Amino acid sequence: MADDCAGKLIADDATCAPCAGLEDALSAAEVDQFMVNVPEWTYNEPRTQIEREVRTRNFRNGLLLVNRIGALAENEGHHPDLLLTYSSLRITLSTHKVKGLTSNDFILAVKINGVINSMAAELAPKKKT
């Protein structure tokens, strides 16, 4: 890439590739470049996982979101850690085989964002009348 500060954009049709654990985890600079795709997500230090917390209307709607993310993860062959509480879902992505982040984590994060966006009306708290 000519400009090291430029983001690495993920194509709309990108899919997760099987991980044999032979590739290296992304460097901190590469993680920063991929983060432009998922501004709703945060990373830990030393950039070995990304995370997003989503507020949910209630447990039932959170469980519905978990199931949709689970189906997506199975289809992609890449699986997040999911922590569901009554009114929130924490989604954590990392590639365990390389003990860090790979492009698969960002591809799945983009797709998870799509699921969350498609459920926005169901997840939003009910308006008080």
What does the alpha-carbon distance between residue 59 and residue 14 come to, in Å, rounded to a whole number? 31
Closest by Cα among 14, 30, 23 to 98: 23
CA distance 36 to 6: 9
Q: pLDDT by residue (tens digit) across 35-85? A: 999 999 999 999 999 999 999 999 999 999 999 999 999 999 999 999 999
pLDDT at 13 over 80: yes
Coil/strand/helix, residue 111:
helix
In this structure, whether the domain defined by 55-123 belongs to CATH 3.30.1360.20 is answered with yes
Q: Does the pLDDT at position 2 exceed 60?
A: no
pTM for the model? 0.89
Domain definitions of the chain by residue range = 55-123
CA-to-CA distance for 65 and 38, rounded, in angstroms? 18
What mean pLDDT do residues 1-13 have?
A: 66
Say yes or no to pLDDT of 98 above 90.
Answer: yes
